[in-house]
Structure 1
Amino acid sequence: MPVFDPRKLTSVEYPNYKSNKHDIILMVGSQGSGKSHFCKKELIPNGYVHINRDSLKSWEKCVLMLEQCIGKKKNAVIDNTNPDKASRKKYIDIAKKHGVQCRCLVMSTSFEHCKHNNKFRGLSDKTHEVIGDMLLYTFRKNFEPPEMSEGFSEIVSIPFKPNFESNENEKLYKMFLLES
């Protein structure tokens, strides 16, 4: 039996991650873990400015955009993999410099589940670039679990919660895509 069984994916509720304070959220998770999906469904509709290296093309532009958001008193979410302390530090330091809390939301999606999600994304969304397994292995090798000592005001584990655009997509998702 495969390590990840998509048929057994149950409906989950997100833990309480909301805040009444001006804040920065730093997402942490592998490619395919559901970070961007969570941001689009949960954070952006609640007023968070989405900052992503894939769209901005460099971490320097992400830092600049974060500085602009803080200057305008806007909440922001950094939607990158942020696998290690070094990649997270630059954003935490900016939040500290401006006296803004920085919270960490860590995707709890398993390695095999991320591989499945990536395969599904490639089959169901032709506009989305498929991520090679090597990037997933690299994330896993370099991953350092976030710690409060890094400067976070809170660390919250976020489960993957599927949201299907059609019955066909749900049927496809529940297939053993990694077994082909």
Structure 2
Amino acid sequence: MELIVFIGIQAAGKSTFYQRCFFDTHVRINRDMLRTRHREHRLLAACLEGKQKVVIDNTNPSAAERARYIEPAQAAGFTVIGYFFEPDPRGCEARNQARARKVPPAGLFGTLKRLERPRFEEGFHELHCVVLQPDGHFLVSRYQPPARPEAALEPLEPER
């Protein structure tokens, strides 16, 4: 029983990573597809009740937003694993332009401003860092939380 939470801005490669790594084993919960929190909550509840492995494929930028998935999963006895997609604002902006449904730049950079680095204290059993490489491959490594706990709450600024 496993809940995976993706954390990252739009166009970071989260959905592609899901398709390549978890498509055959985990149900995907994505608010873009489900459209409402109510539907998302109902599908999550069904997965938890049915002991189904699940991936939360949303931006999940803050600890508060991640808690809505982590807390019920813990209560159901699930292992909680986080994948933090290291921000690459320029790359995300370029990939966003190639999307059929583009995210407005204000939305992309607004999510970046709200992005908090994950912490084990949120309830994660494992944390991984994902970097999308220029060739389209993903580099996955063990996540190293910030040395100072308060650094997890510092905003990640776009590169200038």
Name the counterpart of 2:66.
88
How many aligned positions are there?
Answer: 135
Out of 98, 106, 115, the residue aligned to residue 143 of structure 1 is: 115
2:15 matches 1:43: no
Q: Quick one: which amino acid aligns to residue 92 of structure 1?
A: I
**Residue deviations 1:60-84 (CA, integer Å, cap 9, x gap):** 3222211111211210000000000
Shift, 1:109, TM fit:
4.1
Distance (Å, rounded) in 2 between the aligned partners of 1:148 and 1:100: 15
Residue 154 of structure 2: aligned partner:
none
More helix by share: 1
- Return the TM-score normalized by structure 1: 0.71
2:53 is the counterpart of 1:75:
yes
Deviation for aligned residue 1:120: 2.6
Of 130, 146, 150, 1:158 maps to 130
Identity of aligned residues (%): 30
Q: Which residue of 1 aligns with 2:6?
A: 27
- For residues 135-168 of structure 1, what are the alpha-carbon distances to aligned partners after superposition, in whole Å with 9 as ceiling and x for unaligned? 11101111111100000101100121527xxxxx
What is the match of residue 103 of structure 1? 81
Distance, in Å, in 1 between the alignment partners of 2:120 and 2:2 is 16
State how far apart, in whole Å, the 1-side matches of 2:96 and 2:68 are: 28
Q: 2-side partners of 1:94 and 1:104: how far apart?
A: 15
1:106-117 alignment runs, 5 A limit:
106-117=84-95
In structure 1, the gaps of 5 or more residues are 1-21, 122-127, 164-180
AA paired with 1:120?
A: A
For 2:35, give the aligned amino acid: K
What SS class does the counterpart of residue 118 from structure 2 fall into?
coil
Distance in structure 2 (CA, Å) of the matches to 1:134 and 1:66: 29
Output the TM-score relative to the length of structure 2: 0.80
Instruction: Indicate conservation of the 8 Å contact 1:109/1:160, yes or no.
Output: no
What are the Cα deviations for residues 88-107 of structure 1, in whole angstroms up to 9, with x where unaligned?
01100111111111111111
User: Which one of the candidate residues 97, 102, 114 is aligned to 1:130?
Assistant: 102
How much does 1:57 deviate? 0.8
Task: Structure 2: state its 5+ residue gaps.
Answer: 138-160
Bigger proportion of residues as strand:
2
